[in-house]
Amino acid sequence: DTEVTQTPKHLVMGMTNKKSLKCEQHMGHRAMYWYKQKAKKPPELMFVYSYEKLSINESVPSRFSPECPNSSLLNLHLHALQPEDSALYLCASSQTTYEQYFGPGTRLTVT
Amino acid sequence: GESVGLHLPTLSVQEGDNSIINCAYSNSASDYFIWYKQESGKGPQFIIDIRSNMDKRQGQRVTVLLNKTVKHLSLQIAATQPGDSAVYFCAEGPENYGGSQGNLIFGKGTKLSVKP
């Protein structure tokens, strides 16, 4: 199974809402990632978890809060987002190489 | 042809022709390079990778060339098919990579359009 799954596929939320994005992989990968991708732009790294510990936070605003409950799951909690946070949020995982497997993404719209 | 500016660079090719997508990378110390394909509405999909100690690597219908002297990477797709239409991103990874985390830096991307 070389699949990374993400839910939901689409999410519309208001600026005062709290929501969560979920990501799951069953490849035994020890690193998991959150990326943000705006239209016509490359993915931008947000967070990296290695062995369930946060190892990289790319100066992401605190309204984005990652969580890694176990080695297969990665969440991104969202609170008080701004319209400019609307984007495709991608999850990825990797084992011992740079070859990161990406999920299909969650299309987030903040109104 | 190619167009740049506010839009993604675009490469338009005829079905059956070969495609060459280019990428200039930024860090001369980067040790690892990877090409991803992203179709509309999907996440990036791994195509092929190459380490800095190589200058060429071939896969199925794809070849990656690395020129470290000018910090240039290219992806060649043989006999391009309509299913190859997508945005292609190159990505680089720093040297001294260890463990299971790979901090990739993505290039801007090129949109490949294949005309039937």
Per-residue model confidence as pLDDT tens for chain B (116 residues): 333 344 679 999 999 999 999 999 988 888 889 999 999 989 999 999 999 999 999 999 999 999 999 999 999 999 999 999 999 999 998 765 544 455 788 999 999 999 98
Size of interface A-B (CB pairs under 8 A): 70
**CA separation (Å) from B11 to A109, B41, B70?**
30, 20, 22
Nearest CA to A57 among A33, A41, A90? A33
- Among all residues of chain B, which has the CA nearest to that of A57? B103
Instruction: Name the residue facing A56 among B34, B97, B103 (closest C-beta).
Output: B103
Tell me the chain B residues in contact with residue A100 when contact means C-beta distances shorter than 8 Å: 46, 102, 104
What tens digit of pLDDT does each residue of A90-111 get?
999 998 667 889 999 999 999 9
- Give residue A93's Cα distance to chain centre: 10
Q: What percent of chain A has pLDDT over 70?
A: 96
- Phi, psi (degrees; rounded to nearest 5) at B94: -70, 165
Residue A98, sorted as left (phi over 0), alpha (psi -120 to 50) or beta, turns out to be alpha
Inspect the interface and report whether the beta carbons of A94 and B32 lie closer than 8 Å.
Answer: no
Residue A12 neighbours by CB distance under 10 Å: 13
Q: Give per-residue burial for B12-39: e unless 16+ CB within 10 Å, then b.
A: ebeeeeebebebebeeeebebbbbbbbe
